[in-house]
Amino acid sequence: MTNENTFYSTIPVAVWGTGNMGRASIRAVTAHPSLTLAAVIVSDEAKEGRDAGELADLGRSTGVLATRDVDAALATLGGGGAVAYMASGELRPEEACADFARVLAAGAVVVTPSVYALYDHRSAPVELREPLEKACAEGASALFVSGIDPGWGNDLLPALVSGLASEIEQVRCQEIFDYSTYDAEDSVRYIVGMGQPMDYEPMMVAPGIPSMVWGGQVRLIARALGVEVDEIREAVERRALDATVTTALGDFEAGTQGALRFEVQGIVGGEARIVIEHVTRITGACAQDWPMPPDGGDGAHRVIIEGRPRIEINVEATDEGGNRAAGGNATAANRLVNAIPWLREATPGLYDGLDVPLVPSTYLSGREG
C-alpha cells in the first residue's frame, strides 16, 4: 500500500480483486496517464503483501502492496478517487452491492462488472437500485457497471455499428469461445456445465437466468434503436462430446457436455429483432456446424446487422501470452478503467454502457520516451 497522505496530481484508484479482471485492471490503471494505483485489495492471505506488479504480471514493481485491510486501502483515496471493483459478484450480489454502497458513500467512483442486474440499472429491482442511488448522492459519486458480454459487445458496439446501416432487420451479437483455456474451472464445469452429464442443468442456462443476465443488454440495444421490446425469449441447445478431451482444466469425458449454445431474443412486432447469442465449447472439435470464430481461433465477439447493407464486425483480443479469454477480460477492464476520469466529472448517479461515452485512448500520448 502507498502512504495514505500521498498527494496525487492524478486520480487515485484502488483495485479490489486480483483475478482475471483484477489483473487486467491493475495493468490498465498503471498505464493510464490520468490515474495512479493507490491500493490493491485481496481476500487471499497468500497474496497479501505482494507487489501489484507481480500479481498482474507487469514485469516490474509498482511499490503498491496488496492488502486485506479494506479500510486502510480505501483511506488511500482521500475521500475521492475510484475503486475498480473486480471481486466476483455472481454468487454474492447483495454483498457486492453493499461494498459498492460503502465506497460510493465515501466519495469514490465505482466501476465494476460484478452485478448483472445493474448493467441496465433502469430496469434493476428498486430494492437494489435505490440504496446505490442514495449512496451516490451522499458521496457525490458515480457507479458504472459493465463488461464485454454482457457489456460493450452488446450495448456500445452494436449501437455504433447500427449507425452505418440504412435499414435494419435484425441485430445479432455473438460471443463464440473455446473455454479450454479459461482460468475459472468451477465456472466452466458447474456454471457453464462443461463435462457434466447431459441431464445436468447448467446454472448459466437455467430458465430465466439468460434473461436476467442478458435481458438488460437487449433492452439497451432497443433503447439505442428507439424501439420497444414486446417480450424476451430464451432458446438453448447443448451437444455432447464424441470423445474424451484433455485440456488445461483436466479431462472432459465422452458423452458429457462439450458445447452449449443459447439465445436471448428481444421480440419486436412478433419477430426476434435483437438477439444475443452465445456459442461455447470446451474443444473446437465439438459442434463444428455451429458458428466459429472467423480465423478458427479460440474466440471472438461478433456483431451482425442484417439489413441494408449487411454488416459484420468481428473483434478478437489476446493477452497474457496470446490467450483470447484473457484478451476479452482486458477489453472489459479497460472499458471500465478508461471511464474513470469521465465519471469523476459526471453528475452523481448510476450509469450504463450507453450513458458512458467511449473515450479515445490516451495511453499512447502518455508513454514516455
The set of cell numbers assigned to 166 is: 440504412
Q: Is the pLDDT of residue 352 over 70?
A: yes
- CA of 361: how far to CAs of 28, 114, 138, 242, in Å? 11, 24, 31, 45
| pTM tops 0.85, yes or no | yes
Q: What is the mean pLDDT of residues 93-116?
A: 96
CA distance 279 to 263: 9
The set of cell numbers assigned to 108 is: 469514490
Confidence of residue 365 (pLDDT cuts 50, 70, 90): low
Which pLDDT score is estimated for 5?
38
Name 67's Cβ contacts closer than 8 Å, sequence gap at least 6.
1, 39, 40, 41, 42, 48, 49, 73
The domain ranges of the chain are 11-147+327-351, 165-308
Which pLDDT score is estimated for 89?
79
For residue 302, the tally of other CB atoms under 10 A from its CB is 21
Which pLDDT score is estimated for 145?
97
Supply the angle between the helices 126-139 and 93-105 in degrees, to the nearest 10: 20
Sole residue written with cell 434503436: 225
Which pLDDT score is estimated for 205?
95
Which pLDDT score is estimated for 8?
54
The 10s digit of each residue's pLDDT in 282-302 is 999 999 999 998 877 778 899
The 10s digit of each residue's pLDDT in 47-71 is 999 999 999 999 999 999 999 999 9
Q: What is the DSSP string of 25-70?
A: HHHHHHH-TTEEEEEEE-S-GGGTT-BHHHHTT-SS--S-B-BS-H
For residue 196, the tally of other CB atoms under 10 A from its CB is 17
* CA nearest neighbour of 239 among 205, 281, 210, 202: 281
DSSP conformational letter for 357: -
The set of cell numbers assigned to 322 is: 496470446
Which pLDDT score is estimated for 369?
41
Confidence of residue 367 (pLDDT cuts 50, 70, 90): low
CATH 3.40.50.300 fits 11-147+327-351, yes or no: no
Which pLDDT score is estimated for 342?
97
Cα dihedral 197→215→25→361 (10° resolution): 130
Sole residue written with cell 460471443: 175
Q: What is the DSSP string of 106-132?
A: TT-EEEES--GGGTTGGGS-HHHHHHH
The phi, psi pair for 278, rounded to 5°, reads -120, 135
DSSP conformational letter for 282: S
